[in-house]
Every structure is written in C-alpha cells, then in structure tokens.
Structure 1
Amino acid sequence: MALLRDWGLTLGKWTGRPVAQIQKDSGDPDVWRVRQAAEAADWATVRDVLEARPESEDRTELLWAVGDTADVEHWIAPVIEAEPDAALPRLVAGVRHVNWGWEARTGARAKDVSRRQFELFHERLRTAEQWLYDAAEREPQWTSPWHALQTSGRGLEVGQAVARRRFEATVRRDPHHLGAHQQQLQQVCDKWGGSHEGMHAFARESAFGAPGGTLLGQLVAIAHLEQWLSLDDGADAAYMGRPEVRTSLREAADHSIRHPDFVRRGLWNQVFNTFAMAFALAGEREAARECFRVTDGRVSEFPWYYINGSDPAAAYRQQRSAAGR
C-alpha cells in the first residue's frame, strides 16, 4: 500500500509534519490483495494469498483482513462443501464468524448491548469455535486456529483456565506471536475478570522473557494504558506520571523498539503508536517525539481510540503537538 504523504499547511507556512492518517493495516500489499479478493468472493485468490504466507511467518493479519469482510460467511460455505478435507476454508469460516460475532455485539458497554445482540454474538462465536477446532484437528501445527479461539473464548467467557490453555496452545507453536499475547493480556486485565497486578506481571514476563528486539515490549505499554483507562480524570494522569511507570516504559522500549535487533515487520507501526501514546501521557516528551517521528503520521486506530473513539487521528495529532513534535 503506497504511503500517502500530505503535508500540513498552517497560516500559509509548511509545518514540516505529515498529516496524521489512519493506517488500517501494516501496509503489506498482500493484505489489500486478499481483502479485495474476499470482497469479490474470489476463493482461488484468497487461497493463493493465504497459502503463500506460511503459518511460520504469521499470516494473522491476512486472515483477519478476510474475516473482517462482509458476506464471507455466505460464500465460504459452498467452498467447505467442495473441499471437505481442507483445513483452510474452515479456518477462514471460523475467523469470519469471530469477527461477525463481535460485529453483532459492537464495542458498546455490556449494559448498552441488547439481549438479541448478545444472542447473535454468542451464536456466531459458537459456530466459529466449531470451524476453528475442525481446522486445528486437520492441521495440528497451525497457530491461527488457536489464536482465533482466544478471541472467541473471551467473548464466550470460557474462564481464565481455558483461556490460558488456548494461549499456551498458540505460543507453543509460535512463542513470540504478538496477537496471541495481546489477546491474553486482555484476558487477564481487570475489565475481563483479571487484575491490574496480574496484567502487569504477564506483560513484563512476556516482554522480558523474549529476546531483545521483539514486538512484545508493546505489552508493557498496553498494560499501563489499560490501567490509565480504568482511572478517573486526574488519577489517570497521576498514574502515568509515576516514576516507576515512566521507568517501566523506558525499559520496555529499550528491550524492544530501541534494541539493535529490532526489525520493522508486521504490526511494528502499531507498536510505535502505542509507545508514542504511553510516553506522551507519561510526560516523556523526548521519547514520545522519537516515536512520533518514526510513525511519520501513520496512525493506528489502536490505541488512539482510547482517547478519541470517533477520531483516533485527532488524538494522535493532539498528543504529537503536546510532545512538541
């Protein structure tokens, strides 16, 4: 995907900063290609793109691009009938039903979700699990079915023990799988029945238990943002400004995005956006400026929608300006 490079103009002068634009994906051209094929119900192309990206290279983003596409649940059914022994169409059906389920629930708070929405949510997730288990049985070494089962399991409230087993099944196959760790972090956070203490412990164990230079340092920043999000106005800013929080963020960045072995791959831009937001809220202006420089106006929706759900790019711009970038 070509990067759109527009430049801001203020009072007739160039600001020297790229206009903040939402980046829907990592920029991998195969993501665009597989999404277009899914929209056209072109299974042959969807299959070719997915099969060209082995599980060992993490095809999560490609799968979720298909799963996020409307009507896949309809055209994948005859594909499954035509290929009764194939795992891939079952995996696609499972991932689509996970997305379709969460679409029914929406991002609203539970009290604002209707009974019918919850019924559809759970019905679609249960269907997803059937397809995902079928795919896992056919391809025992695949990571993706177990990763998707983490997401469906959270919606079905399978409990911490089952959720942990699904996470462990994913990372046995891919120890540094970012999506799996992100899902488990959500599972153990306070709003999903865990605790702040357990969330931070998991984030640090995962980040620092991995070799230097992986994307998993993001987990430490996410954990601090999750606790910040749970606090009232005033208390949230005080929390982010604590010396131990700022130290924790610097250590995580040093072990991941600042590490000499770090490579910009996969969701690296989202990771930098996450550190940019965390550093900005913590008052670490120099560190935040460096992250904003690297992101170069490419805004990932997560985590900026924590500040402004309707306009994440506006939240990015606001914090970038506050950091002096």
Structure 2
Amino acid sequence: MALLPAFLRPTRMTRRASRPAAPLPAGDEAVLDAPDERLSPALVAAGRGEYGVAEALLATTRATAAWEDRDRCAKRLAAFARSRPEWFEAWRAAAPDDPDALLVATQLAVDRVWPSPARAELLREVSPLITAAARADDRDPVPWRIALDHARGSRAGHRYFEELWEAAVRRAPHHYGCHVAALRYLGTFWHGSHRECFDFADLAAQDAPADSLVQALPARAAFAYLTDDCGPEVPRERLDAAADRAVALSGRFPAADPWPAEVRNKLVYVLVRLERWEDARAQLRLTGPYATSFPWDRVSEDPLGLFLRLREELLNGTGTPGPKGLLPAPLRPRSGHGGHARAGDH
C-alpha cells in the first residue's frame, strides 16, 4: 500500500481541556444528534433567520484555535443551511469574504453534491471554494478536512491525497476529522485493507494525547471491519484493544454529554458486536439520552428507533442478547462503491 507510509509519521500537539457535563433530560427520553450548549443558541437564532450568533460562535473557535469544535459546528451549521438557507444566504451576502461564512459555504457545497451519482464530476466544481476557505485563514485545518473528503469523493489520486494530508496535519497534528477522512480514503481505495487501516489508526492513537478524539480512531477502524465482509480477518485481540482505547477515552468525559456522544454510540455498536455486554451497558449509561445518527444510520433507516431498542434490550431486557438479534446487516457497502451515498457519509 503505497499511500500508508506517508500517513505513518508521528506528530505532537498539546492536550485539550475537558468540558462540563450537560444536564440529563428527565425520564427515559432520547434525542438524536443533539447540539451542545454552545451550538444550540446558534441553531435557534438561525431558525429565526439570524446569523449573528453562528458568526460569533465560529469566530470564537477560530480565535481560540478550537479546531474540533469548529469542525463540528461548521458541519451542523451547513446541514441546517441546507434545509433552511435564508439566514445563511443573508450572512454570505453581508460578508462574502468572511472566513467563517466561507467555511460553512464550502461544507454546504460538498454536502449538496455528495449524494449525486455524478458526485465526482460535481465536486470538481467545488474546488475553488475549498481553496478560498483554506486561504482565508492559513491556520485552520477544517478546510483541509473538507479537501480530504472532497478528494475521496472525486476519486483523486494517492499522491495528491498525500499532499493534502501533510498540509492538514501541519496545521493540527491530531485533528480527528482529518484522521477520519484519511481512514475513510484508505478504506475506500483499498477496500478490504482493514489491517492497514488499523495500522494507521493505531499509530495515530499511540501518538495522540490521552484525551484526544484520535484515541477513538481504532474503534472507527473496528466499526469498518465489523460492517464489512471483505479482506483478511483481523485478530480479536486487535479489535478488543481498539475498543479498550475508546472506553478509556469515554471515561475522560462527563456522563450524558453531547460532545462525546458519537464516540460512545459508535463504541456501543463495536462492543455489542464483540459481545462485551457489560461494557456496552456501561457505555449506554454514560451516553444518556444522546443518540447520534452515526453509526446507527449505517444499519437502519431509523437510527433513533434502533438506538432505543438496543438500549431497552441491554439495560432492561432479561438474559444475554445476541448481536444478530440486536443489530441488522449494514444498509450498504462501507467502501463507497455502488449505490447512492447520503450527504452524511463524508
């Protein structure tokens, strides 16, 4: 695998601070893809047609170099703008060269064409917008994460992808979104190369700080393996080690917090597939009411319903469930070949 050595280079950065716990809703309710306490006001304001709160939020993430927050906020704001565009169109008209508006516009442009059968061709038309977003603030790794997704979707060559990858990690050596984009590129272009994907994910996690989201990257590789029927077998010990890393990371965050919810939801899936029932139950308790579309939308058209059924069976059911009964087969191949992809697949 010619691409892999360029990925396997150690990097260093400082640790990020932990965050306070969000309040746990009363009763047994659950919510899907709930925003955290900072993003929520921006979405509420956008619903009223106002962009100022979103503008201030993204400006703060840029000023404080909170790149993980910035990436998540840009994705959620772009998703909201896709269905409710008026507030964002007003922002773009008022500040066409604003780095934060450019970032959301770039994510939105990629989202809009991603589900199309002509995705590769349409994505090439987005390239100038990605370039503009990257030039707007040279420190920001998030446009480079979008560029990595764009390269995968447009089926760019390996050498070009490596150049993008090196530019991304120069800006933020342990940015989780960039690492996920690279892992998905590896999985797409070398379908079935799960051991190589684990090599990349394991080395990245070994080099990252203990509280970095990159600690969850091996569990993401495990998820890809467990939802695929292609390639050589990965030893059980490696799957357990990936889950253990993610369990340790999850334990560093408060319970019932939207911030680590996707990491915990993905980890629950992996633990159930590995039949580690007590560990899965523990993660569900830590997850609280915060279901996330990923990974459940990869195996069900009703991700919230599947989360609720799984939670009910594991926390309140009797006996030991079996993974075949709890989790349906994946809806589509993980490689990205064949079928139409959803906007969230990148």
* Normalised TM-score (structure 1): 0.76
Q: Which residue of 2 aligns with 1:256?
A: 249
Correspondence 1:98 to 2:97:
no
Q: Which residue of 2 aligns with 1:288?
A: 280
How has the CA–CA distance of structure 1 residues 128 and 73 changed in structure 2, closer, same or farther, with 3 Å as cutoff? Answer: farther
Q: Which residue of 1 aligns with 2:5?
A: none
How far apart, CA to CA, are the structure 2 residues paired with 1:82 and 1:254? 45
Q: Which residue of 1 aligns with 2:117?
A: 118
| Runs of at least 5 residues in structure 2 that lack an aligned partner in the other structure | 1-21, 317-346
| Alignment check: 8 A CA contact 1:100 1:124 kept | no
Aligned length: 288
| Alignment check: 8 A CA contact 1:50 1:62 kept | yes
| Alignment check: 8 A CA contact 1:34 1:62 kept | no
Q: Deviations over 1:2-42 (max 9, x none)?
A: 65333xxxxxxxxxxx34x24314x3233223234445553
How has the CA–CA distance of structure 1 residues 323 and 67 changed in structure 2, closer, same or farther, with 3 Å as cutoff? Answer: same
How far apart, CA to CA, are the structure 1 residues paired with 2:244 and 2:140? 33
Correspondence 1:5 to 2:4:
no
Task: Report the identity percentage.
Answer: 22
1:153 aligned to 145, 151, 154, which one?
151
Q: Deviations over 1:261-291 (max 9, x none)?
A: x345874111111111111110111211111
| Alignment check: 8 A CA contact 2:42 2:51 kept | no
Question: Which amino acid is the alignment partner of residue 242 of structure 2?
Answer: L
3-state secondary structure, aligned to 1:64? helix
3-state secondary structure, aligned to 1:134? helix
Question: Which amino acid is the alignment partner of residue 148 of structure 1?
Answer: I
Question: Which amino acid is the alignment partner of residue 170 of structure 1?
Answer: A
Question: Which amino acid is the alignment partner of residue 237 of structure 2?
Answer: E
How far apart, CA to CA, are the structure 2 residues paired with 1:266 and 1:2? 10
How far apart, CA to CA, are the structure 2 residues paired with 1:124 and 1:220? 32
How far apart, CA to CA, are the structure 1 residues paired with 2:171 and 2:276? 36
How far apart, CA to CA, are the structure 2 residues paired with 1:75 and 1:152? 25
Name whichever structure is richer in helix by fraction: 1
Correspondence 1:23 to 2:32:
yes
Deviation at 1:68, TM superposition (A): 0.9
How has the CA–CA distance of structure 1 residues 72 and 127 changed in structure 2, closer, same or farther, with 3 Å as cutoff? Answer: farther
Deviation at 1:247, TM superposition (A): 3.1
1:247 aligned to 240, 246, 250, which one?
240
Q: Deviations over 1:117-172 (max 9, x none)?
A: 333x3465334321121122232111221111122222111133322332332222
* Normalised TM-score (structure 2): 0.72
Deviation at 1:78, TM superposition (A): 7.1
| Runs of at least 5 residues in structure 1 that lack an aligned partner in the other structure | 7-17, 106-116
How far apart, CA to CA, are the structure 1 residues paired with 2:112 and 2:164? 21
Question: Which amino acid is the alignment partner of residue 67 of structure 1?
Answer: A
Q: Deviations over 1:223-269 (max 9, x none)?
A: 1121111129xx99xx79x64245323542365334xxx34587411
Question: Which amino acid is the alignment partner of residue 24 of structure 1?
Answer: D
How far apart, CA to CA, are the structure 2 residues paired with 1:78 and 1:253? 41
How has the CA–CA distance of structure 1 residues 77 and 288 changed in structure 2, closer, same or farther, with 3 Å as cutoff? Answer: closer
State the Cα RMSD in Å.
3.1
Deviation at 1:306, TM superposition (A): 2.7
2:194 aligned to 179, 196, 210, which one?
196
Instruction: Flag the structure with more relative contact order, 1 or 2, with Cα contacts below 8 A and sequence separation at least 6.
Output: 2
How has the CA–CA distance of structure 1 residues 246 and 148 changed in structure 2, closer, same or farther, with 3 Å as cutoff? Answer: closer
Q: Which residue of 1 aligns with 2:142?
A: 144
